[in-house]
């Protein structure tokens, strides 16, 4: 019933392809990420391809060291700014948030981003997490971002910023996939109970990094029933959990596949099959030192 409730809430909040954030802004249901495979690489061609295929949500970060190339692709697309949703994250070594966001906007060629995130609770900014969150609230008030949120935050990290200002984080972007569901469930439920939408990076990890696990035959079975691919099933599973998936590829057919996965609605039983098959197989790619 939990999965159905989450999905039904999302359908009431927005069209199936979108999620409504707690501040009222709408985030597209599947985002294109410019990290991982594109880390410290020229992302202009892949971002251009993603935009041409139909992605509206581009997820960037200062840490990826490619925001200028992302900006070049945005400019070349000539797409109206209002049709795009651009996320970026403050660098983990940034000490001056107001100066940092100005630099990032210049690199991206934008006057504002739609979502600005603290990349990690271990960011080396001056002061505490609460101080950094106050700066983020000020950045939002200046109109440099429409929404503010966090990434890689644990429950204890979120508790440090929830009551600091009138602005609550609307997103917590974390590594999220079936092989992390058992460990992530308390965090997911804490976020959802506090109006924080969870966004997933590496949602395809079971087939991109951990192939050969107990989930493989389950994904194949469900994919066959729906006449989709295992990757699309994983995207559908994230959405069924009320989570916004961020994925990436340099191939047109794979990008189209990911966008089309947004239309897939798994049954409660199918979601449970995935949960059960992955319950005893814990795997994490990133930030292992944070999530012990």
Active site residue 64: yes
Q: What are the phi and psi torsion angles at 240 (to 5°)? A: -65, -25
The phi, psi pair for 186, rounded to 5°, reads -60, -40
Query: If we measure between CA atoms, which residue out of 233, 260, 259, 236 comes closest to residue 248?
Result: 259
How many whole angstroms separate alpha carbon 30 and alpha carbon 230? 16
Distances (CA, A) of 163 to 33, 136, 199: 30, 14, 21
CB 230 within 8 A of CB 207: yes
* Active-site entry in 57, 64, 116, 179: 64
- Cβ–Cβ < 8 Å for 88, 49: no
Q: Are the C-beta atoms of residues 204 and 247 closer than 8 Å to each other?
A: yes
**Alpha helices per DSSP H over the chain:** 2-13, 44-53, 67-77, 97-108, 129-141, 155-159, 181-193, 205-208, 216-226, 230-240, 252-260, 268-278
**Helix or strand or coil: residue 17?**
coil
Active site residue 39: no
Catalytically annotated residue among 119, 177, 179, 201: 119
Supply the Cα-derived Rg of the chain in whole angstroms.
18
Q: How far apart are CA 35 and CA 33, in angstroms?
A: 6
Burial class (CB in 10 A: 0-12, 13-18, 19+), 267: middle
User: Which residues are part of the catalytic machinery?
Assistant: 64, 119
């Amino acid at each position: 019933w939990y999965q159905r409730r989450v999905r039904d809430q999302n359908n009431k909040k927005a069209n199936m392809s979108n999620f409504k954030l707690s501040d009222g802004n709408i985030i597209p249901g599947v985002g294109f990420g410019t990290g991982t495979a594109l880390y410290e690489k020229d992302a202009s061609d892949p971002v251009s391809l993603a935009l041409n295929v139909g992605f509206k949500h581009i997820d960037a970060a200062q840490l990826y060291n490619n925001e200028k190339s992302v900006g070049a692709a945005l400019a070349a697309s000539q797409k109206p700014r209002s049709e795009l949703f651009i996320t970026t994250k403050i660098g983990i070594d940034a000490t001056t948030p107001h100066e940092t966001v100005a630099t990032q906007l210049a690199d991206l060629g934008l006057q504002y981003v739609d979502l600005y995130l603290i990349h990690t609770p271990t960011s080396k900014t001056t002061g505490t997490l609460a101080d950094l969150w106050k700066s983020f609230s000020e950045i939002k008030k200046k109109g440099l971002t429409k929404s503010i949120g966090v990434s890689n935050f644990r429950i204890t990290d979120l508790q440090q910023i929830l009551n600091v200002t009138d602005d609550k984080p609307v997103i917590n972007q974390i590594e999220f996939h079936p092989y992390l569901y058992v460990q992530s469930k308390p965090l997911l439920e804490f976020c959802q109970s506090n109006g924080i939408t969870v966004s997933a990076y590496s949602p395809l990890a079971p087939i991109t990094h951990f192939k050969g696990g107990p989930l493989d035959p389950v994904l194949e079975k469900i994919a066959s029933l729906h006449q989709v691919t295992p990757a699309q099933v994983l995207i559908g599973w994230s959405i069924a959990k009320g989570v916004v998936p961020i994925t990436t590829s340099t191939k047109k057919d794979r990008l189209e596949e990911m966008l089309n996965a947004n239309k897939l609605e798994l049954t409660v039983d199918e979601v449970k099959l995935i949960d059960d098959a992955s319950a005893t197989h814990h795997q994490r790619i990133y930030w292992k030192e944070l999530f012990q």
